[in-house]
Chains A and B, each alone.
Chain A
Amino acid sequence: MSENTVRNWLVLAGIVFCLAFCLFPFIYMLVISLSTRADFLSQRASFKFTLDNFNAVLTDGSLHFPDYLRNSFLISLASAFFCVVIASLAAYAITRLQFPGRMSLLFFALAVSMFPQIGLVGYLFKFMTRLGWINTYQALVLPYTAWILPLSLWILVSYFSQIPRELDKAALVDGCTYRQILCKVILPVAAPGVLSVFLLSFIFAFNEFMFALMLTTDYRARTVPVGIALFQGLHGQTPWGNIMAASVVTTLPIVILTLVFQRHIMAGLTRGAVKG
Chain B
Amino acid sequence: MSDITDKEIKAACVFISPLIVLIFLFILVPVLGTLLNSMFQDVAFLDKQFVFLRNFRQLFADSGFRQALKFTLLFVLVSVPIEIVLGMAFAMLMNTHIPLRGLLRACVLIPWAIPAAVSGRIWELIYNYSYGLANFIFTELGITTEPVNWLGTSLGAFIAVVIADVWKTTPFAAIILLAGLQAIPVELLNQARVDRANFLQVFYKVVLPLMKPIIIVALLFRTIDGLRVFDLIYVLSGGGPGGATTSISHYAYKYFLGGDFGYGSAVSVILFMIAFLLSVFYVKAGRFMTGQV
Contacts and interface: CB of A to CB of B under 8 A. Distances in A.
Determine direct contact between A and B, CB below 8 Å: yes
Given A25-B122, A243-B121, A266-B175, A203 B12 contact: no
B109 interface: yes
A146 B22 contact: yes
Interface in B259-284: 261, 264-265, 267-269, 271-272, 275-276, 279
Given A127-B30, A266-B109, 11 more contacts: A105-B16, A115-B275, A116-B227, A118-B248, A121-B256, A142-B25, A146-B25, A209-B115, A255-B113, A259-B103, A274-B179
Nearest to B286: A276
Secondary structure at the A interface, as helix, strand, loop or mixed, is: helix
Interface string B194-231: 00001100000000000000100110010010011011
A26 B125 CA distance: 12
B77 interface: no
Contact of A228 (B13, B16, B117): B117
Given A11-B98, A225-B231, A258 B106 contact: yes
Interface in A78-128: 85-87, 89-90, 92-94, 97-100, 105, 109, 111-112, 114-127
Given A23-B107, A86-B18, A114-B276, A229 B234 contact: yes
B65 to A, nearest CB: 13
B33 interface: yes
A118 B116 contact: no
18 contacts: A15-B98, A39-B130, A94-B16, A116-B227, A116-B249, A118-B252, A119-B34, A122-B268, A127-B29, A145-B22, A214-B253, A229-B121, A243-B121, A255-B113, A265-B109, A273-B176, A273-B221, A274-B180
Interface in A139-160: 142-143, 145-147, 149-150, 153
Given A3-B199, A122-B261, A263-B102, A240 B26 contact: no
Contact of B19 (A11, A86, A231, A274): A86
- Which residue among B5, B103, B107, B272 has the maximum number of chain A CB atoms within 10 Å of its CB? B107
A231 B93 CA distance: 38
B167 A25 contact: yes
A115 B19 contact: no
B175 A269 contact: yes
Contact of B230 (A92, A118, A265): A118
Contacts of B82: none
A235 interface: no
Nearest to A273: B176
B121 A228 contact: yes
Contact of A90 (B15, B96, B113, B271): B15
Interface of B: 5, 8-9, 11-13, 15-16, 18-19, 22-23, 25-31, 33-34, 37, 89-90, 92-93, 96, 98, 102-111, 113-123, 125-126, 128, 130-131, 133, 135-136, 167, 171-172, 175-176, 178-180, 198-199, 214, 217-218, 221, 224, 227-228, 230-231, 234-235, 248-249, 252-253, 256-257, 261, 264-265, 267-269, 271-272, 275-276, 279
A161 interface: no
A241 to B, nearest CB: 10
A29 interface: yes
A114 B275 contact: yes
A122 B15 contact: no
B16 A90 contact: yes
Contacts of B109: 258, 262, 265-266
Q: Chain A interface: which size bin?
A: 35 or more
A229 B120 contact: yes
Contacts of B128: 240
Nearest to A21: B167
A146 B27 contact: yes
A19 interface: yes
B151 to A, nearest CB: 13
